[in-house]
Homo-oligomer: A and B are copies of this chain.
Amino acid sequence: MANPISSLHIQAIQGIPLIHDGDQLDSIILSSLKSNGVELEDGDIVVVAQKIVSKAEGRLIRLSDVNAGEDATKLAEETEKDPRLVQLILDESTEVVRKKAGVLIVRHNLGHIGANAGIDQSNIENDDEYALLLPSDPDSSAVKLKFQLDSALNVDLGVLIVDSHNRPWRMGTIGGAIGCAGFQVLDDQRGGVDLFDRELKVTLINRADSIAALATLIMGETTEMTPVAVVKGFANDELDGRASEINRPKEEDLFQ
């Protein structure tokens, strides 16, 4: 079980500049933390929007550089999408799960199921002719950023990379974890007991998604573009998890 907490504070970090291919996110975040007057302690979690990780890692693709194949062209017609975008979606995924006009739900190469393989065309500092892919290995991106921030600040942080997710039965997006380092992602209380000493049967709590949800809301509700937030209040429990743990194994999937 995770260490007990009683209160949390979440703060959006203002003044992060627009990010481009090759930018050093660690330096940019460190400098912004300083100008926001935020000091990090062991156990604090730095939440970073997928978008800036992807941009820094050069995952912005010019659509005119993409050649749509036969499958993508056919699927683009069925779903009324740009064939080059559909080609990118197919390249980034292992299978199409559902499709209809305007909707293409796939299993991403990273193992999770979602719309359009997480490819984004909003808030890109160019025009509609670009598409932004997810980081190629966001768990590793989180591990790297944690190492950089920990070393610079001499602390033991968590790093959480988040993206907005649609869900099959609930309206409205919420943030979810796509990259994690330095904190417990799934808190397995199975085998524990409840308040009345009865065995807990199915209590596996997704800490990463729970934090991602509210942090993403705050990052989106601030006046400026705020792709970084800090969560303070979690104890440093020396546990370490990855977002890849969140993917439900395909053999347990009742809805694909």
Contacts and interface: CB of A to CB of B under 8 A. Distances in A.
Contacts of A216: 210
A239 interface: no
A169 B214 contact: no
A212 B174 CA distance: 11
A252 to B, nearest CB: 9
Contacts of A176: 170
A217 B196 contact: no
Contact of A122 (B125, B200, B222, B223): B200
Interface in A1-50: 2-12, 14
A207 interface: yes
B204 A254 contact: no
Interface residues of A, number: 74
A158 interface: no
Nearest to A7: B11
The number of times this chain is found in the oligomer is: 2
A128 B171 contact: no
B200 A217 contact: no
Interface string A166-188: 01111111111000000001110
Which of A9, A98, A169, A218 has the most C-beta atoms of chain B within 10 angstroms of its own C-beta?
A169
A167 to B, nearest CB: 7
A216 to B, nearest CB: 7
A137 interface: no
Contacts of A185: 172
Given A8-B218, A169-B112, A198-B128, A174 B248 contact: no
User: Top 4 nearest A-B pairs by Cβ distance?
Assistant: A172-B206, A213-B213, A214-B214, A210-B217
